[in-house]
Structure 1
Amino acid sequence: MSSAHLSTVDGPERLCVSGCAQHIPSKVLHLRQLPVDVSEQELLALALPFGRVTKLVTVRTKHQAFLEMASEEAAVTMVNFYASAPPTIRNQPVFIQYSTHRELKTDNMNNQRAQAALQAVSTAAVLPGNMSSGDGWGLVLAPSPVLRVIVENLFYPVTLEVLQQIFSKFGSVLKIITFTRNNQFQALLQFSDTAHAQHAKATLDGQNIYNGCC
């Protein structure tokens, strides 16, 4: 995690903050229409379910931010996921697109306190909570409306309908995608409200989906 950086840029920026929209994938993402006092934790919460964040730069005067994912694959997954259901911060829609930057470089990346903050949040978010060694769920610990679900010891197929049935008990589910990574069945679920997502995580984390718990 020593490569993680966090920076806040105000005043004259060296980053492109207008006309940056493009469709060429990049591990650097451009976030627009942010609350003026958006916190780094709120921005990281949008990205951490999709992978590790290595750099984050906020441009508060323009209500924008740039974040760099550890891989282009993670950035592509994040952009595609939010394309049809844009995330919100404090009920304000946030728009996410690829940046023209291939990597983030600023003159203000040596703030040790900022680096420590990003490292702490990233570490907490990617560690699975109460991961069961048997049939269970591991959910990413992040204050986000998006949950990453890992199903261990998959004996029977887990379909979109099954996931919808289980998680819709806790609130409105806007989107679900499933995939296999590291030989594990995983899913990303987006709730309409962060509180509903956290309630689902607290209730289902470590539970056995085959014994009627859900």
Structure 2
Amino acid sequence: MKRGYENYHGNSRGHHSGPPPPGFKKYRRDDVDPVNPTPSKVLHIRNLTQETTEADLLSALSHFGNVAYTTLMANGHMALAEFATMDQARACIAYSKNHQIMVRNHPVLINYSTSEKIQRSGLESEDPSRVIVLTITNVTYPISVDTLKEVRKTLN
């Protein structure tokens, strides 16, 4: 009698149609080793407290360079942090090999992520634009095009 995988697929070649039945787990077939992933700008941070915020991560990790993006995972005990450069991510990993990195006075575990970039959501996922949208309320002084040009100069 066939059981498990062969019972579902009909043979050991893995040809089937439709979704797997309940109880079957998906697994990745790529060559990424989750224990020792290849270096990337994205770091996986574990052992966070439930109260950890993205600001806490920025505070702890900004010593190593510009943290371009962070996201807390749904379970609240893990996060991803993306550095602007590989060198900054490497510096953080190298430091964490011999020193304890603390977030909210709690030791965390840091490793390279299997992700090369953190998926952005909403407006952050769009390509940057050179368009500036201004909403001016409670105007006390007259505003002219020249005034707006002066404001724009300070943004460059």
The bucket for the TM-score relative to the shorter chain is: 0.5 to 0.7
1:73–1:62 distance in 2 versus 1, CA, 3 Å: same
Does the aligned pair in 1 maintain the 2:47–2:107 contact within 8 Å? yes
Number of aligned residues: 93
1:119-175 CA-to-partner distances (Å, cap 9, x unmatched) read xxxxxxxxxxxxxxxxxxxxxxxxxxxxxxxxxxxxxxxxxxxxxxxxxxxxxxxxx
Work out whether 1:80 is the aligned partner of 2:89.
no
1:109–1:68 distance in 2 versus 1, CA, 3 Å: farther
1:22–1:110 distance in 2 versus 1, CA, 3 Å: farther
**Correspondences of 1:1-214 after superposition (within 5 Å):** 20-106=34-120, 108-110=121-123
AA partner of residue 100 (structure 2): P
Does the aligned pair in 2 maintain the 1:26–1:102 contact within 8 Å? yes
Does the aligned pair in 2 maintain the 1:21–1:100 contact within 8 Å? no
TM-score, reference length from structure 1: 0.40
Measure, in 2, the Cα distance between the counterparts of 1:28 and 1:80. Answer: 14
Q: Which of structures 1 and 2 has the bigger CA Rg? A: 2
Give, in angstroms, the shift of residue 20 of structure 1.
Answer: 3.6
Q: Which residue of 2 aligns with 1:199?
A: none
4+ residue runs of structure 1 moved beyond 4 angstroms? none
Percentage of pairs with the same residue = 29
Measure, in 2, the Cα distance between the counterparts of 1:109 and 1:82. Answer: 32
Gaps of at least 5 residues in structure 1 are 1-18, 112-214
1:84-127 CA-to-partner distances (Å, cap 9, x unmatched) read 11212233210000001111114x2426xxxxxxxxxxxxxxxx
Measure, in 1, the Cα distance between the counterparts of 2:122 and 2:79. Answer: 15
Measure, in 1, the Cα distance between the counterparts of 2:41 and 2:122. Answer: 18
Does the aligned pair in 2 maintain the 1:28–1:75 contact within 8 Å? yes
Q: Which residue of 2 aligns with 1:118?
A: none
TM-score, reference length from structure 2: 0.53
Measure, in 1, the Cα distance between the counterparts of 2:95 and 2:122. Answer: 29
1:109–1:21 distance in 2 versus 1, CA, 3 Å: farther
Query: Secondary structure at the residue paired with 2:92?
Result: helix
Give, in angstroms, the shift of residue 43 of structure 1.
Answer: 0.3
Q: Could you say which structure has the higher strand fraction? A: 1
